[in-house]
């Protein structure tokens, strides 16, 4: 089965294979998988280089002083005892010596030379005792086992550090996202607070007249208010309307007994909330008796529309 991307299982399998910790059957199956999976081959290549460098990253530890000499001394002692016992056995099993007059004085026993002579009578390199070779093998085996344990511990520490690093990065990203959301909410809250303060000041202003908008049969759920400052001519519209369909827009009209004038369009957000400030281009002498009308019109009809067309979406009289 080919992998589309590297996962935790593929990384773990590649790491165990690169360290030689898989069984023979598992290693053979993984080698067959490497022939057809590009992702695992790339992951194994990276981990192979990392496993080769793990040993170099570990601080070298010297064996205790005198370890090699103590092991060699014990091995030499056991070898000499065995050699002496073999000589005694040979002497016990040897035939009786000839008469004293024909027996030559025995030569003093000497330790056999550890030098092997070639056919020309010259000495070659010294031949180490059998015990020394076994001791060297044991020492090398201990060193290899110690080195393998250090590699496994270093790999485990590296893998754990990588996992902790990934978790820490995830927490940092989550904290940054939460901070961004909080800042956005604070800005929105600040803007809403400023709008409420301005509306409160307008409601308390004696020159401001209010027309409460009520939904008509076209949009019965629409509701809002139109605040008109008769001194400055500024008009503020707030309300909650149904979102305008694509290509349509809400429009505010002021209807007097003798004329009807448009006060401009009312843009809304995606939730249908409206908070717009407009200013009349035409002077209106009196506010009383004027009705605020909101219509839903096509954007293409805005330039040519001079009067509101029923049915309206909302309306209200100025008090």
Residue 250 has a pLDDT of 92
Whether the predicted pLDDT of 15 surpasses 60: yes
Q: CA 19 to CA 29: how far, in whole Å?
A: 16
Chain-centre distance of CA 31, in angstroms? 29
Q: Which domains does the chain have, with CATH numbers?
A: 8-56 (no CATH), 208-317 (2.60.40.200)
Residue 103 has a pLDDT of 47
Whether the predicted pLDDT of 172 surpasses 60: yes
Judged by average pLDDT, the poorest of 75-84, 103-112, 271-280 is: 103-112
* Residue 221 contacts residue 243 (beta carbons within 8 Å): no
Q: What's the mean pLDDT in 290-308?
A: 86
Whether the predicted pLDDT of 80 surpasses 80: no
* Residue 227 contacts residue 210 (beta carbons within 8 Å): yes
* pLDDT (tens digit per residue) in 195-216: 777 777 766 777 788 889 998 8
* Residue 295 contacts residue 308 (beta carbons within 8 Å): yes
Peptide bond into 311 cis (omega under 30): yes
* Residue 227 contacts residue 319 (beta carbons within 8 Å): no
Alpha-carbon separation of residue 297 from 20, 211, 224, 261 (angstroms): 76, 21, 18, 15
Q: CA 96 to CA 247: how far, in whole Å?
A: 131
Q: What's the mean pLDDT in 148-169?
A: 88
* pLDDT (tens digit per residue) in 16-37: 888 778 888 888 888 888 888 8
Q: What's the mean pLDDT in 271-284?
A: 76
């Amino acid at each position: 089965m080919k992998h589309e991307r590297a996962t935790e299982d593929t990384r773990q399998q590649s790491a165990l294979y690169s360290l030689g910790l898989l069984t023979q059957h598992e290693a053979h199956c993984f080698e067959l998988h490497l022939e057809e999976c590009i992702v695992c081959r790339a992951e194994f290549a990276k981990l192979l280089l990392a496993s080769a460098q793990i040993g170099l990253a570990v601080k070298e530890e010297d064996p205790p002083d005198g370890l090699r000499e103590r092991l060699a001394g014990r091995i030499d002692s056991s070898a000499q005892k065995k050699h002496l016992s073999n000589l005694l056995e040979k002497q016990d099993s040897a035939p009786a010596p000839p008469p004293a007059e024909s027996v030559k004085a025995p030569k003093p026993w000497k330790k056999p030379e550890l030098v092997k002579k070639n056919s020309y009578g010259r000495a070659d390199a010294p031949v180490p005792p059998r015990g020394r070779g076994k001791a060297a093998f044991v020492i090398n085996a201990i060193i290899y086992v110690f080195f393998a344990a250090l590699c496994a511990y270093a790999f485990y520490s590296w893998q754990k550090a990588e996992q902790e690093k990934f978790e820490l990065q995830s927490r940092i990203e989550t904290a940054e996202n939460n901070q961004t959301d909080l800042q956005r909410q604070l800005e929105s809250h600040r803007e809403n607070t400023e709008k409420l303060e301005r509306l409160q000041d307008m409601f308390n202003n004696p020159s401001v007249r209010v027309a409460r908008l009520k939904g008509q049969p076209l949009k019965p759920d629409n509701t809002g208010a139109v605040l008109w400052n008769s001194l400055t001519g500024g008009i503020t519209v707030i309300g909650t309307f149904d979102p305008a369909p694509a290509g349509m827009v809400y429009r505010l009209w002021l209807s007097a007994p003798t004329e009807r004038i448009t006060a401009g369009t009312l843009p809304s957000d995606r939730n249908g909330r409206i908070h717009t400030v407009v200013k009349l281009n035409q002077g209106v002498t009196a506010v009383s008796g004027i009705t605020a009308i909101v219509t839903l019109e096509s954007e293409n009809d805005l330039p040519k529309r001079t009067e509101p067309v029923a049915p309206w979406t909302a309306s209200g009289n100025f008090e």
